[in-house]
Structures are given as structure tokens and as C-alpha cells.
Structure 1
Amino acid sequence: MTTTRFFVYGSLSEGMVHFSKIQNFIVSSTPSQIRATAYRLKVGFPVLVNSGADLVSGQLVELKTSDLLIGLLDEFFGYNPQDPAKSLYHRQESLVSVIGGGLEKAWVYFLNPLKLPLNAMLIHGGDWIRSMEEQPALTAKLSDKQKCYISKLGSSSGRDIVPIDLQLYRELMNLELIVDKGRRLALSKLGHEVYRHLA
């Protein structure tokens, strides 16, 4: 069995929306920290940039891995090993401080600094957990009806017309989650981010 260490944070953490992607492959999980700079995206989840001196909390997880699993994680994070410069994230091996002592090497998905949105908010001190407790992610604030519509629109072919009532239309337009393309509605850039983070 091959195992690979990853430092995970944000939506891949236990209890978060994407934890199920790795849950069945975890061999061990240890609280740990990494030096980085944390930002919150408009959708509400954190990203790390490989710079700065903040100690950011996360988990050092050892996963039962295969080329397929690593390929799926790379795809999820928009990382292309053949073209890292254009990738949304970079997968880099970094030193992680294990709580209780010791340094371990692990793979970390850092946001490509060139792809950091202008509206991303710096998390002072890197405490993304507290930041999310104080201000939950946008996905947690949506009603079931709003989530259902975003999921339908996100999974439609693009030519499909997904019916909507006027009240829901106003709500999603005010949240900047949809755009009106005349004869049909589509997800905005933020809407696509929300769709990606819906369980």
C-alpha cells in the first residue's frame, strides 16, 4: 500500500463540505500547522498562499493513495503538473509542524498567487477556523431552495432552460450568483464557486 502525506485545511477538513472526498483514504490524521498567508474567498472558504509567517492550522493526513486519487485531487484544485504557471493551485511539498513536536514533509495545495482574486480578504494571523465561525461561508447562508436551484443550474448542459420563480430570481441576482443571458439564466463566477462547494 502506498501512502502520501497531505496538509489539509478549509473545505477538505473534517466536518467541512469536501472532507468526504478523502475520508475513506485516511490512514492517520494529526493536528498540525504550516507557515503561510491565509485569505478568504468571497464564497467564504479559505485559501493559502505560500508566503508569509502566520502559523495556519490544519491536519497532516496520511492517505492511502494511487495515481488516480492524486490525479482527482489535482483536478479538484485545478492543478496541472504539465503547466503549473497557469494552474489555479500549486501542489508543493512543504514542511509542516506537527502539534506535539516535530516537522514532517507533506504536499500542500497553495493558491497560485497570480490567481488570488482582488476581493479575497486577508485573514490576520491565519486563523481561518475562527474567521469561519465568526462569518460562515456563503453556502451555509443559502436556503435549501436556493441551493437546489444553483445545483440544477450548475449541472445543466448550458443550453437547458431551468425555470425559476421571480422571488428566487431576485434573491440569487442580489447575491450575484446568477446572470441573466436573455433567454436563459447561468451561474456567475461566484455562482460556479458556490456550486463547487455545495455538498
Structure 2
Amino acid sequence: MTAKRFFIYGSLSEGMIHFSKIQNFVESLAFARIKATAYRLKVGFPALTKGGSDLVPGQLMELKGSELLKTLLDEFYGFNPLDPEQSLYSKEEVDVYVEGSSEPVKAYTYFLNPLKLPVNAALIPGGDWKKSIEDQPALTSKLTEKQMTYIQRLGRSTGREIVPIDLALYRELMNLELIVDKGRRLALSKLGQEVFRHLA
């Protein structure tokens, strides 16, 4: 197995909610930056778009290159190698500036398709998404165990299945704009689907 280099940021970074998905593949990691533009999504995690002059922080990871890992990362970012133009993210090779090194190295990273950038995404000045999360934690970290459990159950249910809910929890999730009431059944809102993706 050969190691593959990826620039990782956001929820897959070490210490973040999804690092456990890739930690068994990590051979080494180092603090690094790339030139990009960072946005804060409503769920609280960042998305990067190509271009811009901000040096956005993240980690350069040497990952064991397996087909399983490539598929896992592509699926996580909604990248379809057979239809890259319609994908949520693109996968690109970029210059990565590693802390303590003067020369950039090449690595792959995922950029959000600019056409899919939500209107409520907020530009992060300077690109420091870590500070943005420290100042205002991601929505997933503010949810109660009961709220998370319900979102996960609703996210995994089939369209016709009714997932029971009590009135207090219903109000909480409606106020957070995580569910929509379709009359006879509840469904996750777009934000709810994004939260589910970050909890799954």
C-alpha cells in the first residue's frame, strides 16, 4: 500500500467529530495551510472554495492509499469521479505549505463546487475556520443526546416510516430548523440533513 497525501480540514481534522472515520489510515500528519477561500456553513463546519489568497489552516496527512479510503473520502465530500461537474465537491491537487518548511508539497484536497455554495454560508475572514469554531461552536456540539438520537433515527428512516416524537422535542427541533412537518410525517430539513451527515 502506498501512502497518499491529502490536505484535510474541518470535521475530518484531528480532534474533530469525523477524525475517527480516517484515523486508522493516517500514517503521519503535520499542520499546514493552502491558498483558498473559507466559508462557514450553517451547520458550523467550513467549506473551502478554490481561489483566493487566504492561507487556510488544516493538516497534511499521509494516508494509506486504499480503494476503500478513496471511496470513503469521495462519498463523505459528495464527489462523484464519473460526474465531477455535478458533484458537491471537486477533488484537486494543490500546493500545501507545511509549517516549518519553505517549499510547498503537492497533495489532494476537496473544494466545494461554487454553484453549490449555500446562500447562508458566511465568508470566514482570513480563512481561519478553527477560530470561527472556537468562537462559535458547530451546531452538532450544541445538541442534546435526545436531539441527536432523534435526528439519526429520522435520517436513517425510510420516507414512509413515522418516527414518533414528543411535543417538547418537536418544538426544539422546529426552532433549530432541523425538521420540517409534512403533515402526516416529519422529515429532516436541509440543515437537518447536513447535521445528520455530520453525526452519521
Same fold by TM (over 0.5)?
A: yes
Question: Any gaps of 5 or more consecutive residues in structure 1?
Answer: none
Q: CA deviation at 1:75?
A: 1.2
Q: SS where residue 57 of structure 1 aligns?
A: strand
Partners of 2:183 and 2:118 lie apart in 1 by 28
Q: CA deviation at 1:68?
A: 2.4
Aligned partner of 1:25: which letter?
F
Q: How many residues align?
A: 199
Aligned partner of 1:10: which letter?
G
Partners of 1:26 and 1:69 lie apart in 2 by 10
Question: Any gaps of 5 or more consecutive residues in structure 2?
Answer: none
Match of 2:115 in 1: 114
The 4+ residue runs of structure 1 with deviation greater than 4 A are: none
TM-score, normalised on structure 2? Answer: 0.97
Aligned partner of 2:131: which letter?
R
RMSD over equivalenced CA pairs, Å: 0.8
Match of 1:30 in 2: 30
Partners of 1:98 and 1:148 lie apart in 2 by 39
Match of 1:86 in 2: 86
Matched, 1:130 2:131: yes
Alignment of 1:1-199 (within 5 A): 1-101=1-101, 102-198=103-199
Aligned partner of 1:138: which letter?
L
Partners of 1:135 and 1:108 lie apart in 2 by 25
Q: SS where residue 97 of structure 2 aligns?
A: strand
Aligned partner of 1:156: which letter?
S
| Deviation digits for residues 23-65 of structure 1 (CA, Å, limit 9, x no counterpart) | 0011110111000000000000001001100001110000001
Aligned partner of 2:114: which letter?
P
Aligned partner of 2:132: which letter?
S
Q: SS where residue 74 of structure 1 aligns?
A: helix
Q: CA deviation at 1:92?
A: 0.2
Aligned partner of 2:47: which letter?
V
Partners of 1:65 and 1:81 lie apart in 2 by 17
Aligned partner of 1:97: which letter?
Y
Partners of 1:72 and 1:15 lie apart in 2 by 19
Q: CA deviation at 1:3?
A: 1.1
What is the aligned-residue identity percentage?
69
Partners of 2:107 and 2:183 lie apart in 1 by 48
Aligned partner of 2:181: which letter?
D
Partners of 1:197 and 1:69 lie apart in 2 by 18
Q: SS where residue 70 of structure 1 aligns?
A: helix
Partners of 1:159 and 1:3 lie apart in 2 by 44
Q: CA deviation at 1:172?
A: 0.6
| Deviation digits for residues 134-192 of structure 1 (CA, Å, limit 9, x no counterpart) | 00001111111111110110111121111111111111111110011111111011100
Aligned partner of 2:42: which letter?
K
